[in-house]
């Protein structure tokens, strides 16, 4: 499974002390989500403003299309979870 799509979001960077820098409104992100069902793993990538705002990580599944782990970010973006659900993956791990 491979899906490429675009989302528009407002973002603000933060660390453990709170917000860092300005808020960026209406940033268009190119998103890629790919899963290799035979290997039970995948990856995701988000690229906004030509690399100015980017993030990526891994996805791991059991043999039944159930998400068991991810990395790359504290909280997997909902639009990635939604896209996985559209393709029949169980993302209840995220709840």
pLDDT band at 18 (very low <50, low <70, confident <90, very high): very high
Q: What is the pTM of this model?
A: 0.88
> Within a 10 A sphere around the Cβ of 84, how many other Cβ atoms?
24
Return the pLDDT at 2.
Answer: 97
Q: What is the mean pLDDT of residues 23-52?
A: 94
Q: What is the mean pLDDT of residues 70-89?
A: 96
Q: What is the mean pLDDT of residues 76-92?
A: 97
Q: Where do the domains of the chain lie?
A: 2-94
Return the pLDDT at 49.
Answer: 85
pLDDT of 1 over the 90 cut = yes
Reference 7, options 28, 32, 34, 23; nearest CA is 28
């Amino acid at each position: 499974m491979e899906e490429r799509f675009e989302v528009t979001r407002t973002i603000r960077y933060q660390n453990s002390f709170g917000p860092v820098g300005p808020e960026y409104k209406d940033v268009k992100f190119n998103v890629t989500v790919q899963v290799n069902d035979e290997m039970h793993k995948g990856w995701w990538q988000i690229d906004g403003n030509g690399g100015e705002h980017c993030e990526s990580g891994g996805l791991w599944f059991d043999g039944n299309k159930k998400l068991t782990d991810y990395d790359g970010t504290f909280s997997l973006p909902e639009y990635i979870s939604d896209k996985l659900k559209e393709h029949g993956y169980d993302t209840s791990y995220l709840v």
